[in-house]
């Protein structure tokens, strides 16, 4: 859980290399309180934006993914974060630059609406969604940490 006071705070959550290509989502108002994560798709659909915090941290982490539509076969794929299946129109390879010479990718829901799918699944099964959402943010952070080298600061202890 985290809060953005201004659009500048939101922009600062992204890596410096990503800030130059940012497109803000339309209709966003500040201050902005984010419970689990914030995701939006660029107007052209080429980029998908994600802002989340690692479990145990209130530091927002922003990642810009590129949707590389290769025009290949439309086969079923599984999202590595929410474990839902879909065609390549729903689940596809999203990539992001590590540096100017290296890019990494992961199969994800192209709209990053994993939260909605996990909540629906938990509601249908009569389970609490908190554990599933914590696991989702843990998977997001594991990707950010292992693939991009992003470290999260632990939350400050309550006074």
User: Within a domain: residue 130?
Assistant: yes
User: Within a domain: residue 157?
Assistant: no
User: Within a domain: residue 107?
Assistant: yes
Number of structural domains in the chain:
1
Instruction: Find, among 99, 95, 31, 100, the residue nearest to 63 by Cα.
Output: 95
pTM exceeding 0.85: yes
User: Within a domain: residue 153?
Assistant: no
Q: What is the pLDDT along the chain (159 residues), one digit of tens a residue?
A: 899 999 999 999 999 999 989 999 889 999 999 999 999 998 888 999 999 998 888 899 999 999 876 556 678 899 999 999 998 889 999 999 999 899 999 999 999 999 999 999 998 999 889 989 999 999 999 999 999 999 887 765 555
Domain that holds residue 101: 2-148
User: Within a domain: residue 156?
Assistant: no
> DSSP string covering 91-114, please?
EEEEEEEEETTEEEEEEEETT--H
């Amino acid at each position: 859980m985290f809060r953005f006071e201004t659009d500048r705070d939101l922009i600062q959550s992204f890596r410096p290399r990503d800030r130059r290509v940012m497109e803000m989502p339309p209709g966003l108002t500040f201050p902005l309180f984010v419970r689990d994560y914030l995701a939006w798709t660029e107007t052209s659909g080429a980029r998908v934006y994600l802002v989340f915090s690692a479990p145990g941290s209130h530091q927002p982490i922003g990642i810009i993914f590129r949707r590389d539509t290769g025009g290949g076969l439309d086969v079923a794929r599984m999202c590595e974060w929410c474990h839902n299946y879909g065609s390549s129109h729903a689940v596809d390879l999203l990539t992001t630059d590590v540096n100017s010479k290296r890019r990494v990718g992961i199969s994800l829901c192209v709209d990053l609406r994993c939260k909605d799918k996990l909540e629906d699944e938990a509601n249908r099964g009569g389970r609490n969604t908190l554990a599933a959402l914590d696991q989702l943010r843990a998977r997001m952070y594991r990707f950010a940490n292992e693939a991009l080298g992003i470290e999260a600061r632990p939350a400050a202890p309550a006074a």
